[in-house]
Amino acid sequence: MKTKIDMKSSVLGAFLGAIIAFSLGAVTGGGKSASWDYKIVPGKVFQGELEKGINSAATEGWEFVSVSDMSTEQWAFAVMRREKK
């Protein structure tokens, strides 16, 4: 029995497979996983201490991630990160 291969379907299948593979590689960073160091920056919210702490850490290469709830507390903290070297 002879099998007839549809060239158009084969090319389309290979093309879609390549798109999926490249898309997954882009989303996952191509298999490269970043490792992070984290830093907690505390400070008084209304006296500008927290802002100064965040800015100081940013000049050292730290990236802002999150801040605690500042609505009810005078003190808060920010979470900073940078890629491990």
Distance of CA 23 to the CA centre of its chain: 17
**Domain extents for the chain?**
36-83
pTM (global) more than 0.85? no
Is the pLDDT at 27 greater than 60? The verdict is no
Identify which of 33, 32, 30, 49 has the alpha carbon closest to the alpha carbon of residue 41.
49
Q: Which residue has the higher pLDDT, 73 or 85?
A: 85
Residue reference for tokens 């201490």: 49
Q: What whole-number percentage of the chain has pLDDT above 90?
A: 35
The dihedral through the CA atoms of 51, 55, 61, 64 has a sign that is positive
C-beta neighbour count of 35 within 10 angstroms:
7
